Amino acid sequence: MASLEELRLQLDEIDDQMVRLYEERMKVCAQVGEYKIKNGKKVLDRQREKNKLQAVSEKASSEFNKKGVRELYEQLMSMSRKLQYQQLVKAGALGRLPFIEMESLDAKNARIVFPGTEGAYSQAATKDYFGENCNSFYVRTFREAMEAIEDGAADYAVLPIENSTAGSVDEMYDLLVEFENYIVGETIIPIIHTLSGVPGAKLTDIERVYSKGVALMQASHFLDDHSDWQQISVANTAIAARKIRDDKDQAQAAVCSAYAAEVHGLEILEENINDDQTNCTRFIVVTNQKVFLKHAQKISICLELPHESGSLYRLLSHFIYNDLNMTRIESRPIEGKNWEYRFFIDFEGNMADPAVKNAIRGLREESRNMRILGNY
């Protein structure tokens, strides 16, 4: 039996030849790319790829190697497609950008909508992004905020998309698919809940606690110590605070921010009641125009997948082959199709980068109903 060292020398020799062949192959693929540009042919030729996979796997001698060679060639063909997309970009044949580039958002003249009421965390996010004195108003629900920008009643909406402890805001993902609005910005703000009641109320008076369901969950350690309290969920933490003010009932309290308590004239019964002291929420800024900021560096897309084993994996290869860092992947059920999923993917990049163009073209060709939700 050969020693490990001898075996590794053999591998090195094989690898020398492999790399040489790889380079030769890419050279020929570049010539195919030139031909395709000249003749206006699409980069992805599914039939040709199928035939090639069939042919190379037949050349291998064992089942294990047939499968291995097939996988290898799927990757090689994906690489040559990437090369050809780059050639298209160089030849100026990828066309105009689907989003219009902007230098900056006109925060001064913008009218902004947020869900909830005075004192909502989304109001804090609005002020954080657009400035303390921005021109804003509120509606009750996320849906109403999306409608307000669709209708033009507001220029921008500020909406929560993800919490550091509770995870994705599923409803927002669904609304991003339902409405043709686009993400143009994001901001992260800390979420620090208090328990607040009417002035004069004491902790021992409390029988019912109102808040947004996810906020009740985020304060569950504190609330578990008062398991006799009834928990009632309403649309928003600040709406809960307003209700406590309106009901004037010492047995009722809200889980809301200190700011919401102040705005609605409540007294803080307990500060900082979240389980996680670093709790924060990422908000997105949404508009009805298909625009992106010049310095944007994150892209959100959604897509549906054909029912094929490995198709998700193959799609993800477009991020790797184009050197794009995928930062997030989420799935949501597709309405009316049981156990089929729509994927939401965030990755780093700007619409104007060739690598992003390459990836998007590839993703679109290999998925269903792909949409760019924004570049921000």
Distance between CA atoms of 374 and 180, rounded to whole angstroms? 11
Interacting positions 82-141 with a copy of itself (CB under 8 A): 83, 86
Tell me the closest approach of the beta carbon of residue 29 to a copy of itself, in angstroms: 8
- 341 touching a copy of itself, by CB under 8 A: yes
**268 forms part of the interface with a copy of itself (CB under 8 A):** no
**Which of 233, 250, 298, 354 is the binder for a copy of itself (CB under 8 A)?**
233
What does the block give as tokens for 261? 């308590």
Binding mask 145-164 for a copy of itself (x = CB under 8 A): ------------------xx
Single out the residue of 134, 331, 352, 354 in contact with a copy of itself (rule: CB under 8 A): 331
Nearest to 33 by CA among 76, 88, 79: 88
State the Cα–Cα distance between residues 184 and 187, nearest whole angstrom.
11
Residue list 157-196, contact with a copy of itself (CB under 8 A): 163-167, 170-171
User: Which residue among 281, 292, 319, 343 is the active-site one?
Assistant: 281
Catalytic residue among 99, 114, 142, 283: 283
**Backbone φ, ψ for residue 24 (5° rounding):** -60, -45
| Binding residue for a copy of itself, selected from 42, 54, 55, 100, defined by CB under 8 A | 55
Cα(285)–Cα(319) distance, integer angstroms: 25
Residues 42, 54, 75, 294: which binds a copy of itself (CB under 8 A)?
Answer: 75
- 203 touches a copy of itself by CB under 8 A: no
Q: Which stretch binds a copy of itself (CB under 8 A): 1-9, 94-102, 118-126, 297-305?
A: 1-9
Contact between 325 and a copy of itself by CB under 8 A: the answer reads yes
The two three-digit tokens of residue 237, written as one number: 């933490």
Instruction: Return the number of other C-beta atoms located less than 10 Å from residue 98's C-beta.
Output: 10
- Whether 64 sits among the annotated catalytic residues: the reply is no
User: Between 133 and 338, whose beta carbon lies closer to a copy of itself?
Assistant: 338
Residue 283 designated active-site: yes
Structural contact between residues 126 and 136, judged by C-beta atoms closer than 8 angstroms = yes
Q: Note whether 138 and 119 are within 8 A (CB).
A: no
Beta-ladder partners of 346: 300, 328
Q: How far is CA 314 from CA 3, 154, 301, 322, in A?
A: 38, 40, 16, 13
